[in-house]
Amino acid sequence: MLEVADLRVRYGNLEVVHGVSFRAEPGEITAILGGNGAGKTTVLKALMGLVPTASGTITFGTQNLTRRPPHAIARSGLAMCPEGRQVFPRMSVYENLLMGAYLRSDAAGIQEDIEKMFERFPRLSERRLQPAGTLSGGEQEMLAIARALMARPALLLFDEPSWGLAPLIVEEVSQAIRDIKERGTTILLVEQNVQMALGLARYAYILETGEIAMQGSSEELIANSYIKNAYLGV
Ligand SMILES: Nc1ncnc2c1ncn2[C@@H]1O[C@H](COP(=O)(O)OP(=O)(O)OP(=O)(O)O)[C@@H](O)[C@H]1O
Ligand SMILES: [Mg+2]
């Protein structure tokens, strides 16, 4: 469904993504794992059209998304749950959800979907009028997820959803991601939490300094001695 071929991204003269190729299969969770500065966020931003692609191609189903503007990419069915949540801090929970639907014009459908989000995430429902900036980290992550879902994406990109969360909350976020997959949305999950991501994904890519260093099914990677030593601390 998503196919990225030989993607290169530069900031000024400095290339930070050096010809990366990967796929995200429909209805599955695919992970991209890597440490700080590996280029994970840059890859996701390139997919969303938020940083320019120097070379390579991005294909989504039959659509060529390479160098398309962000609004066109969003319209073709991609949404992102960004690094550090990036909720609108002074807007209420309700208004944040409304922002997630900015490309939609079906007012009744939007209201219906907001109510569905409140059913799925009861903690958000109790706080619907609270400024999003005053939510806990876990609540903000749930809000960022619900906001992304308001766009009704076919492919949802997650940038380190476990970042800064306690283990119990990471488990809740994992469950939410699993649930989104089970409802039919394809997921590309960027994580440093290798344990969590390999627990969710069917297939994963290891990104090191802007290159895919290794790839395989989660079972293969969990059993791999390099992954055990470098990423799982076994
Ligand atoms: N706007 C920018 N201008 C210049 N360099 C940048 C910019 N954004 C990122 N970089 C550089 O690109 C490289 C990859 O950064 P990126 O944020 O994609 O990594 P990451 O894998 O998401 O890291 P982290 O896990 O810390 O979020 C880093 O060396 C970073 O300094
Ligand atoms: Mg990042």
42 touches ligand 1 (CB under 6 Å)? yes
Give CA angle at 205 (216, 35), nearest 5°.
Answer: 135
Q: What are the C-alpha distances in Å from 7 to residues 3, 51, 55, 64?
A: 10, 12, 6, 13
Nearest CA residue ID for atom 12, ligand 1: 16
Q: Cα(65)–Cα(167) distance, rounded to whole angstroms?
A: 36
Q: How many domains does the chain have?
A: 1
**Residue of 8, 10, 41, 47 with the most ligand 1 atoms within 8 Å of its CB, for mutation:** 41
CA 180 to chain centre: 12
Predicted confidence (pLDDT) per residue in 109-147, tens digit: 999 999 999 999 999 999 999 999 999 999 999 999 999
39 touches ligand 1 (CB under 6 Å)? yes
Domain residues for the domain of 137 are 2-201+209-230
37 CA to middle of ligand 1, Å? 5
Predicted confidence (pLDDT) per residue in 36-66, tens digit: 999 999 999 999 999 999 999 999 999 999 9
pTM summary value: 0.96
83 CA to middle of ligand 2, Å? 6
pLDDT (average), residues 172-198: 97
Radius of gyration of the chain (CA): 17
98 touches ligand 1 (CB under 6 Å)? no
Q: CATH number of the domain at 218, please.
A: 3.40.50.300
